[in-house]
Amino acid sequence: TPILELEGVTKSFSAEQVPAVADLSLSVPPGDILGLLGPSGCGKTTLLRLIAGFERPNLGKIQIGGQVVASESKWIPPEQRQLGMVFQDYALFPHLTVLENIGFGLQNIGKVEANQRITEAIALVGLKGLEKRYPYELSGGQQQRVALARALAPRPKLILLDEALSNLDRQVRDRLREEVRHILKSAGISAVFVTHDQQEALAISDLVAVMRQGHLEQWGTPESIYTKPASRFVASFVTQANFLAAKRLSADLWETEIGCFELPQNYVNGDTGELMIRQEDLILKADPEGKVRICDRQFLGREYRYCLQTSSGKELHALTDKETDLSIGTPVQLYLTRQQPQIFMEM
Ligand code: ADP
Ligand code: MG
């Protein structure tokens, strides 16, 4: 049985507003990390609060580990759902030590058992030696480890994390992201990880669900979301690709301002659309006849990120290896790697 199953979950806060969560269905296999990704205001936190039991759906059904926790006829309150929660702002008790914070949810079990679980959780998140400190004596990253340990200690079935890493510096965030995944995997705990950061979602998740205005746009493995975005919205939100206006010349030939592209899969209706070309799929060759110019470049260590301008003034971006060393102002010809471009009819 799935650890989490949502069926047609809908939540409106008022009759005038569009629903914050609209007819949303998905399921998460046990042990998996679901990344819930979408722009600010799309309903991620509301969905998490529905799963946790802080909000009640207007319609639909929520099951956790095969048990119905919310439906038209059934309601299980949050404290009986056996969930762990981690928030963006850590939400630690300032007057309690690390040890006491982590033990907070364990008051109903025996002392010996509680101590064992605290020790285990402290080891898992790498806080050994800091047990007696207070939150103000810890860095942001350490505070978030405490929050994670507190959520893990009661051994919940499922952990819900809402923008848990968003307040941290880039470096700490990247490291903790890897650690959180490792910790959840080694503890065998499923999680719903809410983020507005696409890289974070792809990196930490087994499954990614992309939300837009309360709706689920697409869900699947990070790889499938990245390589086969189902809509223009998912494509631009998840991949930061280039989009070029395209016109159909014949059944499988499409013209753009940087050249013609063959799209053998004749799967779209209509004669105009937008062609998606990923930054890493563009190849640049210096060419005095080229109609595209390099307007800037950034050195990113492993690669260059080029900013290009077409003759009509449109900006494109390309990620290339370090061997592609072109100076600003150079006219170039664009080629594609073997990767097929994808076309979207909605503009
Ligand atoms: P996200 O977490 O993706 O940024 P939220 O779930 O916080 O999005 O919000 C989704 C929508 O629901 C927003 O339009 C927000 O204004 C609205 N909303 C959230 N909570 C409430 C509430 N308690 N009352 C009224 N509207 C709310
Ligand atoms: Mg939110």
- Does any ligand 1 atom lie closer than 6 A to the CB of residue 45? yes
**Percent of the chain whose predicted confidence (pLDDT) is above 90:** 71
pLDDT recorded at residue 21: 98
Number of alpha carbons in the 13 Å side-chain half-sphere of residue 261? 26
Instruction: Ligand 1, residue 194: give the atom nearest the CA.
Output: 2
Q: Which residues, 6+ apart, have CB-to-CB distance to 137 below 8 Å?
A: none
214 lines ligand 1 (CB under 6 A): no
Q: What is the rounded end-to-end Cα distance, in angstroms, of the chain? A: 40
- Report which residue type is found at 227: T
CB 53 within 8 A of CB 78: yes
> Ligand 1: does its nearest atom lie under 6 Å from the Cβ of 266?
no
- What tokens does 102 get? 């982590």
Reported confidence tier of residue 262, pLDDT bands at 50, 70, 90: confident
Q: Would the CB of 38 count as within 6 Å of ligand 1?
A: yes
Query: Residues 158-164: what's their mean pLDDT?
Result: 95
Q: Is the pLDDT confidence value at 346 over 70?
A: no
Nearest ligand to the CA of 20 is: 1
- CB of 210 closer than 8 Å to CB of 18: no
Range with lowest mean pLDDT among 62-66, 73-77, 275-279: 275-279
Using the predicted structure, report yes or no on whether residue 333 has a pLDDT greater than 70. yes
Please state, for a pLDDT cut of 70, what percent of the chain lies above it: 98
How far, in Å, CA of 185 to CA of 88, rounded? 21
Q: Is there a contact between 142 and 125 (Cβ–Cβ < 8 Å)?
A: no
Q: Does 147 have pLDDT greater than 80? A: yes
Q: Do residues 21 and 59 lie in contact, with contact meaning Cβ atoms separated by under 8 Å? A: no
CA angle 282, 250, 235 (to 5 degrees): 40
Task: With a cut of 70, say whether residue 6 has pLDDT above it.
Answer: yes
Average pLDDT over residues 195-203: 95
Strand order in the sheet with 83-86: 83-86, 158-162, 190-195, 33-37, 207-212, 215-220
40 CA: nearest ligand 1 atom: 4
**From 25-34, 117-126, 193-202, the region with the lowest mean pLDDT:** 117-126
Q: What is the mean pLDDT of residues 171-175?
A: 89
Neighbouring C-beta atoms of residue 11, cutoff 10 Å: 21
Q: Given a cut of 60, is residue 193 above it in pLDDT?
A: yes
Element housing 134 (H / E): none
pLDDT for 267 beyond 80:
no
Distance from C-alpha of 133 to C-alpha of 144, rounded to nearest angstrom: 14
Q: Is 20 in the pocket of ligand 1 (CB under 6 A)?
A: yes
The region of weakest confidence among 38-42, 263-267, 331-335 is 263-267
Ligand 2 ion local residues (Cβ < 5 A): 45
State residue 92's pLDDT score.
94
The residue whose CA has the least distance to atom 26 of ligand 1 is 13
Ligand 1 contacts CB of residue 69 (under 6 A): no
Using alpha carbons, list the distances in angstroms from residue 99 to 29, 88, 106, 139, 140.
Answer: 32, 20, 11, 16, 17
Element spanning 99, H or E: helix 98-103
Q: How far is the CA of 250 from the centre of ligand 1 (A)?
A: 46
pLDDT score recorded for residue 124: 87
Q: What is the ipTM of this complex?
A: 0.99
Whether 303 shows a pLDDT value over 60: the answer reads yes
pLDDT at 185: 93
Question: Mean pLDDT over residues 52-70, rounded?
Answer: 97
pLDDT value of position 313: 93
Out of 78-92, 199-213, 240-254, the most confident range is 199-213
Q: Using a 6 Å cutoff on CB, does residue 118 contact ligand 1?
A: no
| Cβ–ligand 1 contact at 43 (below 6 Å) | yes
Is pLDDT at 345 greater than 90 in this prediction? no
CB 277 within 8 A of CB 244: yes
- The position carrying tokens 């990070």 is 222
- The per-residue pLDDT of the chain, averaged, comes to 92
pLDDT exceeds 70 at position 15: yes
As a whole number of angstroms, the distance between CA 306 and CA 294 comes to 7
